[in-house]
A and B are shown apart, each in its own frame.
Chain A
Amino acid sequence: MAGFRVPRYAAMLVMAVFTLYFLTPLWWLFVASGKKDGQVTEGRALLPDNFALGDNLAGLFRYNDGVFLRWMLNSIAYTVGAAALGTLLAGMCGYALAKYVFRGRELIFNLVLGGVLVPATALALPLFLMFSQAELANTFWSVFLPSLVNPFGVYLGRIYAAASVPDELLEAARIDGSGEVRSFFTLAVRLMAPAFVTIFLFHFVAVWNNFMLPLIMLGNERLFPVTLGLYSWNSQVNQHPELRALVLVGAFVSIVPMVIAFLSLQRFWRSGLGAGSLK
């Protein structure tokens, strides 16, 4: 790759334009969350005006016995739990597919890859019917268990394990008397750490934004994740306009955990991608 150099300022300009493009809606949401009674068309659209974010936040957390806080905690439980366990499962699975030779390995891998192509939305209804048979519909598990599955993570895990965990190292560990499980947790996990962070982040975002599955599975408001909770408020704005302010400020609060996850994990992510490409 040589011959053509993009001037630095041009690259900066393009990035600045995109940054603005992606941040403007967020900024609008921030300003709108601060407006009194959800009067979004009142006053200036992109500059704080009659700023009442504090009142709105208080209203949000007070409404209906603080159900919003409950939704946030549910989302965190679904997301962090499923992302952590799901990442481990996907990583183990990818590692096994990369490092062990056994009959049907490619078949399994191809099946998992096929899973990447099936949209989660299409699976929600069959899952509901299955969970109903097991009398598990409308429980925490009905959202948590399906959220563990992450075929794309398996794919990433396999590619990364193949590239970053040398067979010689595993061989040496075996000779030193380490069992397979121990080798995985002490050796492979460290070498694959950047891949784990990547899988975790992807998984985190996917579960946090998951909407169809909880919509179909859950009837009990106390079990809702924040996406579904906000949606159900939003669906009633016509007849109960006072909910609009809550939807706006709630949407704003609901992206905070995701911003935190990204800011705190992106360091690992970037170094991880870099390490992968060097190999």
Chain B
Amino acid sequence: MRIRAGSVAVLLALSLGACSSDSPDSAPAAAASCAPASGPVTLTYTTWIPNIEKVVDVWNKANPDIQVKVQTGPNGNGGTYANFFNQLKAGNAPDLGHIEYDALPSFRVQDGLTDLGGCDIVTQSQSKFIDWTWNQVTFGEQGHVYGIPQDAGPMALFYRKDLFEKNNIPVPATWEEYAAAAEKVKAAGGYITNFSQSDINQFAGLVWQAGGHWFANDGSNWTVSMTDDASKKVAGYWQGLIDKKQVSSVPPWTPEWDNAYNSSSAWTWVSAVWGANSILAGAPKTSGKWAVAPMPQWTAGEKVAGNWGGSSTAVFKNSKHPYEAAKFALWLNTSTEALTLLNKEAQLYPATKEGASLPALKEGVPFYGNQPIYDVFAEASTQVKPDFTWGPTMTKTYADASDGFKKAVTGQGTLVQALEAAQTSTIATLKSQSIPVKE
């Protein structure tokens, strides 16, 4: 069996290009009306959450008049986003779709989403969500809502408690201390972490924490600033660790990468809440030896976290039942029963304020020496800056930046140069799709 990831990327580019001429970003239109239907309705919902059927079944039993048919497939960038765009063009998109925060602007720009700003049930729910997640679905526009926040990826520091203690290395609270620890870890024969050459969204999370803003939209124009001061600071910092060979750089999400953690070669990972599961599955030999601490800070005493990942449930433009769709999406992403199930079946970390107190998120985790690690993430989630915006062509931007990162880890060029190149090509991509951009 051969998997043609390349073709998927080409196709995605094709379909993005094909749609772009239709409706470039324009001033926000009035929110759609949100009247309940008079009779029973059936909604379609496409996602890639494993075992989502079990969650939707609970809704369907309780709501005979709003039946939801769920469809699953590959993850967003694996083909489902490309399918959404094709389906929007063909007029047969589902009512609801799973869209990660970083992909939401691309659907907004192509006018593929129903603005739920006119739904009272939606606007009244704003206070239930952690502030920054709400901004991810409104893009900071007053009175407009383009999706319901589903899950979040607040970041923290996973570290090998046993190795840090054994080698007398204090747990770093600042990035300066982290660099100092890197030196000691190297002396002890390990790497402080594995620097990911292709997880540009992880790097974005680091920039997010440092106060960078890669994209902004003033209502008519986009600005791209992947080389702002914060981004340069973060890039320069990691470049230093790469230059001193204090980080390893095996490709992430490969058996090789699992092995780096499983064999105790990499000692920490600055990652999102869902990463807890990745280490657990990838490095079973290290069970009980890990712990979680807050993300290192740029200024001692500050409390700021980054975010990596997270998604929303959006209602597509051609849905005939935005009210019912919104009602389902709100239940799915705010009710305790749905959040509990989503967490149990798919380890989703809720985007709501109350979600952090789910019983499952209060327990100690044996893999992490019985530390109640989700307390750390619950706090981190409230410390994520609310004003980070994604651009409308993130797939391309990630690919461009990743090209440069791959070179940088092998010593050709630097991370800052990679960001500069990504900045230039992102602006070119926006222009080629007739998306207005300020230079």
Contacts and interface: CB of A to CB of B under 8 A. Distances in A.
Interface of A: 37, 39-42, 64, 121, 124-125, 128-129, 132-133, 135, 137-138, 209, 211-212, 215-216, 218-221, 224, 227-228, 230-232, 234-244, 251, 254-255
Nearest to B70: A221
A212 B2 CA distance: 11
A21 B284 CA distance: 32
B15 interface: yes
B198 to A, nearest CB: 11
Contacts of B11: 121, 124-125, 212, 216
B50 A64 contact: yes
Nearest to A45: B255
Contacts of B274: 239
B4 interface: yes
Interface in B73-102: 73-75, 77-79, 82-83, 86-87, 89-92, 94
Chain B CB count within 10 A is highest, among A218, A224, A237, A238, for A238
Of A135, A232, A237, most buried by chain B (CB within 10 Å of CB) is A232
Contacts of B74: 215, 228, 231-232, 235-236
A132 B91 contact: yes
> Which residue among A219, A224, A230, A244 has the maximum number of chain B CB atoms within 10 Å of its CB?
A219
Contacts of B346: 240
A39 B3 CA distance: 21
B86 A236 contact: no
Q: Interface range on chain B: under 10, 10 to 19, 20 to 34, or 35 or more?
A: 35 or more
B174 to A, nearest CB: 29
Contacts of A133: 90
Contacts of B83: 215-216, 219
A137 B58 CA distance: 28
Interface in B43-81: 46, 48, 50-51, 53, 71-75, 77-79
Interface of B: 1-4, 7-8, 11, 14-15, 46, 48, 50-51, 53, 71-75, 77-79, 82-83, 86-87, 89-92, 94, 253, 255-256, 258-259, 262, 274, 277-278, 280-282, 284, 309, 346-347
Contacts of A240: 50, 277, 346-347
A26 to B, nearest CB: 11
A241 B277 contact: yes
State the main secondary structure of chain B at its contact with A.
helix
Given A37-B281, A239-B278, A241-B281, A137 B90 contact: yes
Contacts, number: 116
B48 A236 contact: yes
A235 B75 contact: yes
Contact of B255 (A40, A125, A239, A243): A40
A241 B282 contact: yes
B90 A64 contact: no
B48 A241 contact: no
B284 A37 contact: yes
B4 A212 contact: yes
Question: For chain A, what secondary structure do more than half of its interface residues adopt (helix, strand, loop), or is it mixed?
Answer: helix
A258 B78 CA distance: 26
B262 A41 contact: yes
A133 B87 CA distance: 11
17 contacts: A37-B281, A37-B284, A40-B255, A121-B11, A124-B11, A215-B83, A219-B73, A224-B73, A231-B74, A231-B78, A231-B79, A235-B48, A235-B79, A240-B346, A241-B277, A241-B278, A254-B1
B1 A230 contact: yes
Nearest to A252: B1
A174 B413 CA distance: 77
A128 B282 contact: no
Of the listed residues B14, B51, B255, the one surrounded by the most CB atoms of chain A closer than 10 A to its CB is B255
B91 A238 contact: no
A246 to B, nearest CB: 10
A244 B90 CA distance: 34
A209 B72 contact: no
Q: Which of B3, B77, B89, B346 has the most CB of A within 10 A?
A: B3
A267 B14 CA distance: 43
Contacts of B48: 232, 235-236
A137 B87 CA distance: 10
Contacts of A39: 284
Contacts of B15: 125
Given A236-B48, A240-B50, A241-B281, 5 more contacts: A42-B262, A125-B86, A221-B72, A228-B73, A235-B78
B73 A41 contact: no
B350 to A, nearest CB: 15
A41 B259 contact: yes
B197 to A, nearest CB: 15
Contacts of A238: 253, 278
Closest 10 CB pairs of A and B: A241-B281, A235-B78, A132-B90, A232-B74, A235-B74, A41-B259, A235-B75, A219-B71, A41-B255, A221-B72
A212 B94 CA distance: 20
